[in-house]
Copies of this chain bind each other. A is one copy, B any other.
Amino acid sequence: MPKTIPEPTIERLCRIFRLLDEKERGDTASISSGAIEKETGIPAHTVRKDISQLGSLKSGKEGYDIKGLKDLIENTFSLNVPRRSCVVGLDMLGSAMLNNNQIINAGYKIVAGFDSNINRMEMMDTDIPLFPTYEIEKKVREYSIDFAIIAVKPEKAKETAEKLIRGGIKGIINFSPVILNFEDNIIVRNIYLVEEFRLLSAMIATTGKQKGEKNEESV
């Protein structure tokens, strides 16, 4: 085992990765931990500590070499391995995901969409192949799909996840407000829209000056 990297560190490094991606086509070739702090809010010493977990990278008076650091993160986390994804549930949110430029620009290919409503699918205007939900297991396997975005109605979320898992899915991004909790080695990232609202409310109520992030985990 190559040494365990703590989850908060993984999250921060992915955030830094995006910054590097922006900066890569910029004027300078390097960036310091202090500059990373200014742009991301992650304290400089934490940035250094996190990066040091990746093994060493030659330093310098200038800070980190942007390209070098980016590649190091990319390799460590296998971000360069191409991943195929699908979207299940093609109402407004699901459709927005199917056509999401951010996702496509980052190199993640969305290769299929699923919905239980065949009429709706026939009306949709997209190049991505669409299938009825009863074909999920079959198509996930056939297309070797790694990741799925779940945007179905809450009452369908669990069975949708189970179909995906039977098809061999590796990771799920779950937009439904149902807590998906599997023993297996399926990784689920939950994006709870409503909870983000509640967290804003809660943070205002408790102090008004918490830090506000988590990705989170997550929406």
How far is it, in angstroms, between the C-alpha of A61 and the C-alpha of B30 when the chains are bound? 61
Say yes or no for A57: interface residue by CB 8 A criterion.
no
Say yes or no for A131: interface residue by CB 8 A criterion.
no
Which of B2, B106, B209, B216 is close to A214, meaning CB atoms less than 8 Å apart?
Answer: B216
Minimum CB–CB distance for A215 against chain B, Å: 2
- Asked whether, in the complex, the Cβ of A92 is within 8 Å of the Cβ of B96, the reply is yes
Which of B146, B206, B215 is close to A4, meaning CB atoms less than 8 Å apart?
Answer: B206
Which of B10, B79, B200 is close to A187, meaning CB atoms less than 8 Å apart?
Answer: B200
- Asked whether, in the complex, the Cβ of A4 is within 8 Å of the Cβ of B147, the reply is no
Classify chain A: how many residues form its interface, as a range: 35 or more
Q: Mark A68-101, 1 if CB is under 8 A from B, else 0.
A: 0000000011110101010000011101110110
- Asked whether, in the complex, the Cβ of B207 is within 8 Å of the Cβ of A200, the reply is no
Which of B40, B79, B177, B190 is close to A202, meaning CB atoms less than 8 Å apart?
Answer: B79
Apart from A11-B195, A15-B179, A189-B212, list 18 A-B contacts with CB within 8 A.
Answer: A7-B203, A40-B179, A76-B206, A81-B205, A83-B201, A92-B92, A92-B96, A92-B100, A103-B197, A175-B219, A188-B213, A190-B213, A190-B215, A192-B215, A214-B214, A214-B216, A215-B215, A217-B217
